[in-house]
Amino acid sequence: MMIHIALTTGEPAGIGPEISVRAASQFLDQYDDVVIHLIGDKALLNSSNERLIIEHQALSKPVKAGELNVENAKYVISTLDHAIDGCIAGTYDAMVTAPVQKSIISESGVTFTGHTEYLAEKCQTPLVVMMLCGKSAFKSDLLPDELRVALVTTHIPLKDVSYVISKELIEKTIEIIDKDLREKFSISNPCIYVAGLNPHAGESGHIGREEIETIIPALENLRQKKYKVIGPLPGDTIFTPSNLKEADVILAMAHDQGLAPFKFATFGEGVNVTLGLPIIRTSVDHGTALNIAGKNIADSSSMVAALELARKITRNKRGTSGS
């Protein structure tokens, strides 16, 4: 049974269209059980493969590589809506997203803090979790085949993180991670390592009390429910090889706490997957790269990896459901 993946081609002035076509073509040469539907304006895309289908969404204005135009923001949103609606309807098995420019969408009058939040709203899902997956660029028997880092908070100012995290949020986040690692990644008993918020995980309350008052009570409650959670561990030592080898995922409290070490380790080949949605969504782990758009030099490795993960999750879910 063929797998149908919708690939939204992102900000038209960025590298999204070119890496989408290049990665999709490379991916389809390797896998014969997938059809990819490129969602975007046909003027920006090309295909000579019958399993690479262009689904035309018209630009509002012509595009010049590297130059943003606020009038094309609605075009970007329309590509996302088309893919989301198709996944919900069952037309597509999964969606993969190329990078968008959050600022230009927001300037158009659409409230948009990122794909993750927009997908949650469109799918009427109260809480989703951002998780990054990728193979380490450092070859060592001390490291796992795949690194996974999830986040409690995503695109919010650092000064607000302490106010946003709560016992309930941490518990629900870990419940979502555990469920999707079982169902989408076929991990039977996920082991989740959890970072603290403060230096040295609060140093027993001497460098902040969030660990004592919020994080530790949440983890203790989860352990009583038989979740396999370790922590909270200091953010500066949680990414040691021994921890990475033991953990199925590391959960960070804030965006850069988790993604800075992850992106250093994976060197741009990571994949963003949204957990908790009723649909499958993966994405590249980089931005629009306006400075090199149109030069045909952008690295498409992350997009290939995103397509591979979308295929893998789809096959895992079909296996779980017996189909």
| 215's tokens | 């994080």
212: left (phi over 0), alpha (psi -120 to 50) or beta: alpha
What whole-number distance in Å separates Cα of residue 67 and Cα of residue 224?
Answer: 54
Q: What are the tens digits of pLDDT across the range 144-195?
A: 888 999 999 998 999 999 999 999 999 999 999 999 999 999 999 999 999 9
Decide: residue 1, CB within 10 A, 0-12 exposed, 13-18 middle, 19+ buried: exposed
Band the pLDDT of 321: cuts 50, 70, 90.
very low
Question: Domains of the chain, with CATH numbers?
Answer: 1-125+285-323 (3.40.718.10), 128-276 (3.40.718.10)
pLDDT at 323: 42
pLDDT at 203: 95
Of the chain, the end-to-end C-alpha distance in Å amounts to 9
pTM: 0.92
Decide: residue 108, CB within 10 A, 0-12 exposed, 13-18 middle, 19+ buried: middle
Q: What are the tens digits of pLDDT across the range 67-77?
A: 999 999 999 99
Q: Identify the sign of the CA torsion 86, 90, 91, 92.
A: positive
Q: What are the tens digits of pLDDT across the range 261-282?
A: 999 998 878 899 999 999 999 9
What mean pLDDT is predicted for residues 36-58? 96
Q: What are the tens digits of pLDDT across the range 219-247?
A: 999 999 999 999 999 999 999 999 999 99
